């Protein structure tokens, strides 16, 4: 300072309580204009330092967040843009800041921009609003938005903060669950209808233990076909495996009592269920009336399903 004769500023801190001061050192001149010393003043900047540190800490939290966080002014112009937003939408911060948020809106959802700003100006918070936004490459993404008003020190609304979460995987999971629920409902109804039909056929004109055994055997056959379909996620079943499964109870250790010939075919679930019951009835009748006791039974596949 004495060499340059100009003021020097330096921030200093008190170790014990963390107070911060701006120290200013100026030349001290006599009445004759001669520099005979220095004047040192201290300005308490503790509150400002605390505010700056808090602001820097919040900025670091926002920048490292996995959620896309954007702030805008009341005209919808982007003011801040964190790294997660860049990853979600593809625009870099320099590309996005200063642009309207409508760069993220599909054409059919532009009206949402003014609706959200109107709610912000009314000091309303928008919680977990599910919508669709557009990436830089034009692709669409499902997001959940939370929008909050931003106030200045005087309590005036000066902008909005927006947190966007990518919910694409959750939406796909929800759609898959809905599809699976519909499929399960459809299968349960079909199964109940089949059981009802089996019961009616098994118990028609029959009484006693024999009718119950017949009914139970048919339910077991239906269950075996369900197990075969479930193994391949209900995409289908092998004709050969289905047939062998229904004939398994009649196989002996010494020799086989049946021969299966011909090419294998893939069956759709509906066809597999129907043929499973048909094979069960054929095998049961053959065993009951002696066809499998006296000679070899042959099952030959010649068509496709």
pLDDT in tens, 230-276: 787 778 888 988 888 888 877 776 666 777 888 888 888 888 888 88
What is the distance between the alpha carbons of residues 132 and 296, in angstroms, rounded to a whole number?
Answer: 66
Q: What pLDDT shows up at residue 209?
A: 63
Angle between helices 208-231 and 269-288 (to 10 degrees): 140
Q: Is residue 115 part of a domain?
A: yes
Q: DSSP letter string over 221-268?
A: HHHHHHHHHHHTTTS-EEHHHHHHHHHGGG--SS--SEEEES---EE-
Share of the chain above pLDDT 90, in %: 25
CATH number at residue 47: 3.30.450.20
Share of the chain above pLDDT 70, in %: 84
Residues 175 and 296 in one domain: yes
Q: Is residue 305 part of a domain?
A: no
Give CA 107 to chain center in angstroms: 25
Instruction: Please choose, from the candidates 50, 83, 46, 57, the residue with its C-alpha nearest in 3D space to the C-alpha of residue 68.
Output: 83
Residues 287 and 194 in one domain: yes
Q: What pLDDT shows up at residue 286?
A: 80
| 129 or 56, higher pLDDT | 129
Residues 134 and 177 in one domain: no
Domain boundary among 166, 194, 217: 166
The answer to whether 241 and 267 are in contact (CB under 8 A) is no
Residues 137 and 184 in one domain: no
Provide the pLDDT confidence category of residue 294 given band limits of 50, 70 and 90. very low
Average pLDDT estimate for 187-200:
70
Domain boundary among 49, 64, 79: 64
Q: What pLDDT shows up at residue 290?
A: 62
Residues 209 and 233 in one domain: yes
Q: Domains in the chain: how many in total?
A: 3
Average pLDDT estimate for 38-66:
78
Residues 56 and 70 in one domain: no
Which tokens is 89 given?
């939408």
DSSP count for the chain of H helices, then E strands: 9, 12
Q: What pLDDT shows up at residue 298?
A: 56
Residues 135 and 187 in one domain: no
Q: Is residue 19 part of a domain?
A: yes
Residues 140 and 175 in one domain: no
Q: What pLDDT shows up at residue 293?
A: 46
Residues 45 and 111 in one domain: no
Q: Is residue 43 part of a domain?
A: yes
Q: What pLDDT shows up at residue 100?
A: 94
Q: What pLDDT shows up at residue 203?
A: 63
Range of the domain at 78: 66-166
Provide the pLDDT confidence category of residue 108 given band limits of 50, 70 and 90. very high
Q: What pLDDT shows up at residue 101?
A: 93
Q: Is residue 198 part of a domain?
A: yes
pTM of the model: 0.50
Sign of the four-CA dihedral 102, 107, 109, 114:
positive
Domain boundary among 166, 198, 228: 166
Which tokens is 235 given?
């995409």
Query: Which residues contact residue 54 at a Cβ distance below 8 angstroms, ignoring those fewer than 6 apart?
Result: none
Residues 235 and 279 in one domain: yes
Residues 203 and 228 in one domain: yes
Average pLDDT, the chain: 81
Q: What pLDDT shows up at residue 253?
A: 65
What is the distance between the alpha carbons of residues 101 and 113, in angstroms, rounded to a whole number?
Answer: 8
Provide the pLDDT confidence category of residue 189 given band limits of 50, 70 and 90. low
Q: Is residue 202 part of a domain?
A: yes
Residues 157 and 233 in one domain: no
């Amino acid at each position: 300072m004495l060499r340059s004769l100009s003021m020097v500023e330096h921030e200093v801190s008190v170790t014990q309580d963390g107070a911060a001061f701006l120290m200013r050192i100026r030349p001290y001149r006599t009445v004759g204009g001669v520099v005979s010393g220095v004047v040192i003043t201290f300005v308490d900047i503790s509150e400002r330092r605390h505010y700056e540190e808090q602001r820097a800490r919040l900025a670091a939290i926002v920048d490292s967040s996995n959620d896309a966080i954007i702030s805008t002014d009341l005209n919808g112009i982007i003011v801040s843009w964190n790294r997660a937003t860049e990853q979600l939408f593809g625009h870099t911060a320099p590309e996005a800041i200063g642009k309207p948020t409508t760069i993220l809106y599909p054409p059919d959802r532009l009206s949402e921009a003014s609706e959200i700003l109107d709610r912000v100006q009314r000091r309303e918070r928008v919680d977990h609003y599910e919508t669709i936004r557009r990436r830089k490459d034009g692709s669409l993404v499902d997001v959940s938005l939370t929008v909050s008003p931003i106030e200045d020190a005087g309590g005036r609304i000066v902008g909005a903060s927006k947190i966007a979460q990518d919910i694409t995987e959750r939406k796909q999971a929800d759609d898959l669950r809905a599809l699976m629920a519909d499929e399960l409902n459809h299968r349960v109804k079909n199964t109940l209808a089949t059981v009802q039909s089996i019961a009616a056929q098994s118990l028609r004109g029959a009484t006693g233990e024999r009718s119950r055994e017949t009914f139970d055997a048919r339910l077991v056959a239906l269950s075996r076909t369900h197990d075969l379909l479930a193994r391949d996620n209900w995409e289908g079943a092998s004709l050969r495996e289905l047939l062998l499964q229904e004939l398994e109870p009649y196989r002996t250790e010494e020799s086989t009592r049946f021969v299966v010939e011909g090419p294998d075919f893939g069956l759709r679930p509906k066809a597999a269920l129907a043929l499973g019951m048909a094979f069960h009835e054929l095998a049961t009748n053959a065993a009951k009336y002696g066809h499998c006791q006296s000679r070899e039974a042959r099952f030959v596949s010649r068509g496709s399903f």
